Amino acid sequence: MKKHLLFLGAPGAGKGTQAQCISKDNAYLHLSTGDLLRKEIEMNTNLGKKVKDIMNNGELVNDDLVLEIVKKNLEKDNKGWILDGYPRNLSQANSLNEVLNKINQPLEVVFYLDIPEDVLIDRLLLRGRKDDNKETIKTRLKIYKDTTEPLIQYFKDLSLLEYIDANRDLKTISDDIRQKMA
């Protein structure tokens, strides 16, 4: 059973939803950079104050800030982990690689949740989080295409990529992921 997983996909593809479900099953650490950053905003920490406007505009938070959070959390004792929403660009992917080499916990599989754009826009508008409005979604999708999408080829070249059709019901998707984790 694979225990070092990464979920990749456009905003609203369902990375958080699936990562939560799979991490619960296996008592893995669910490391969502989006959730961790939102927590900092909620607690009004210095970091939270720095990232609030950036996130509400749908832009990416500074690489070094996110890396700090990821490192701190990966050091926690765990049975396995799921990275959700990290890395989001090539520089973050390289930093992650260095961190994982140091702790000797190599990535075993990357699940790429693929979904048509119109479906994810509808999903996000329905969810209605602060950054789920038409204007911000447009920004997030553009950043995704420009900076995150190249990671699909990056992980494919490393033979880590598993394609998941994310335009199905929740259970069918999780069953597919579980099967590919075995």
Question: Interface residues with ligand B4P (CB under 6 A)?
Answer: 9, 11-17, 32-34, 37, 55, 58-61, 66, 85-86, 88, 92, 123, 127, 131, 140, 169-170, 173
Report in angstroms how near the CB of residue 101 gets to ligand B4P at its nearest: 19
Q: Which residues of 22-59 are buried (b: 16+ CB within 10 A; e: fewer)?
A: bbeebebbbbbbbebbbebbeeeeebbeebbeebeebe
Cβ-proximal residue to ligand B4P, closest one: 34
Measured from the CB of residue 44, what is the shortest distance to ligand B4P in angstroms? 17
Q: Which is nearer to ligand B4P, 28 or 88 (CB)?
A: 88
Question: Closer CB to ligand B4P, residue 66 or residue 109?
Answer: 66
**By C-beta, is 58 or 80 nearer to ligand B4P?**
58
Q: How far is the CB of 129 from ligand B4P (least distance, A)?
A: 8
CB of 62 vs ligand B4P, minimal distance in Å: 8
Separation CA 103–CA 114 (nearest Å): 30
Please give the structure tokens belonging to residue 53. Answer: 């406007």
The answer to whether 41 and 48 have CB atoms below 8 angstroms apart is yes
> What count of Cα atoms within 13 Å lies in the side-chain half-sphere of residue 125?
9
- Round to whole Å and give the CA distance between 179 and 165: 14
